[in-house]
Amino acid sequence: MTVFSSIDPATGETVWEGTEATPAQIGEAVARARMAFDSWADRSRQDRIDAVKRYQAALKARAPEIANAISRETGKALWETTTELAAMQGKVDISIRAYDERTGERETSTGFGRAVLRHRPHGVAAVLGPFNFPGHLPNGHIVPALLAGDTVVFKPSEEAPLTGQLMAECFAEADLPEGVVNIVQGGRDVGAALLDQPIDALMFTGSGAAGAHFRRKFADDPHVILALELGGNNPLVVWDVADVEAVAGIVAMSAFVTTGQRCSCARRLIVPEGKAGDDIIAAVDAIAGRLTYAPWDSTPEPFGGPLISVRAAQQARAALQGRIDAGAGVIRPSKRIEGLSDAFAAPAIIDVTGVNVPDEEIFAPFLQVTRVGTFDDAIKAANTTRYGLSAGLVSDDPRNWDRFIQRIRAGVVNFNRPTTGAAGDMPFGGLGASGNHRPSAYYAADYCAYPVASFEASEVRNIEGEIKGLRT
């Protein structure tokens, strides 16, 4: 029996301790989900809606407790985790609307009777949660899956097991039937063991490398639907802008929010050569120096907290140093924050113009600047990535936006707003190494059920008249 724990990255204190699920326990969880599937899928739409509404009420009642737990496990500032809990609650109502709009039923009269479109659930869905939004992101898979009639086996991030446990308790308080929602705790080995079980869907939020592994793993299992919400080496282009101070705020929220631990964070800032670009970079550098980082319960509230662990911070700094060693110029160095754990990392800015750097995201508040000569060059540079999650343009000229939105390859593309802005009532996802063309958020309903098209006649009729070439 393997014992593991979650650690407050700001203090090193243990937040939760428990045991990893054994292979036998994982198999039992999948078997319970399988046993519960038929009866759950057969329930009426309203019954399933009522169940997730009870879950929503449990989330609301325990919101402060869960927000505190997320802050303790991830180090995120309380203003962020409070917002996360509000998004989790709002996801229920959004998912109900999406279910009806995107996977409802439709009937059309025909000469022989009717043509009917229905949607059916897949079966048992494995949900693997990430650490950066350990409540909101798995919640965004689980709620639509339950509405569709799927049953769920949920493995929370090993960095945030308490958050997963509290979510499971909310589902229990919602009085869902036995086996509809199951939780298995543990790390990578537990996740791998879960995916070796006979599942019907994998819903995952995490790295591009993990997503590629899952594609390969299930290449010979086409019945297993994959919903992969992956990372991105996201570009933010700034062009033809007068107010550089306004630009700096947008860049800061794009690159440095959540200490750079959002898959939609801007990793690459693309600006004009010359004075215009210099002014933008100087303004971004200045605001980066004003951002405050501190433990989640500090007063006043900080802008951000630590990275998820000291190890993650070490890996991020090593990746940054690798780019510097390759020739990148240092605009703002990565600094440790005096008096705080080594998991804290202040914003860093480097100039990678003309430098061959890896096409990989650094999951930290580290921004890479590229200078280009023309707007077309800026779009080309933005698209020079195997990822395609989010992108943004900041410009005073709407003609630039008209061209940008037509040429940029990304699933979330914002204009004069941070790259991290996304709405729950719109799709969220990317292409290339950022996903598999199955966006989440409002479109999660699409991968939680499959369409069934039917021709139906109310009685058996002789159709010989429809058969050409039939001897009389």
Active-site annotation, residues: 229, 263
Residue type, 200: D
Phi/psi at 398 (nearest 5 deg)? -65, -20
- Please tell me what DSSP assigns to residue 435: B
Residues 302, 258 contacting (CB under 8 angstroms): no
Query: Cis bond leading into 177, ω under 30°?
Result: no
- Dist. CA 14–CA 73, nearest whole Å: 9
Alpha-helical runs (H) found in 196-293: 208-217, 244-255, 275-288
Burial of residue 324 (CB within 10 Å: 0-12, 13-18, 19+) is: middle
Pairing, β 114-121 against β 449-456? antiparallel
Tokens 């990255």, located at residue: 9
Cα dihedral value 5, 8, 13, 16, nearest 10: -30
Contacts of 451 (CB under 8 A, 6+ apart): 103, 117, 118, 119
DSSP character string of 273-330: SSHHHHHHHHHHHHHHTT--B--TT-SSPPSB---S-HHHHHHHHHHHHHHHHTTPEE
- For residue 241 the two structure tokens come to 């802008």
264-294 burial, b at 16+ Cβ within 10 Å, e below that, comes to: bbbbbbbbbeeebbebbbebbbebbeebebb
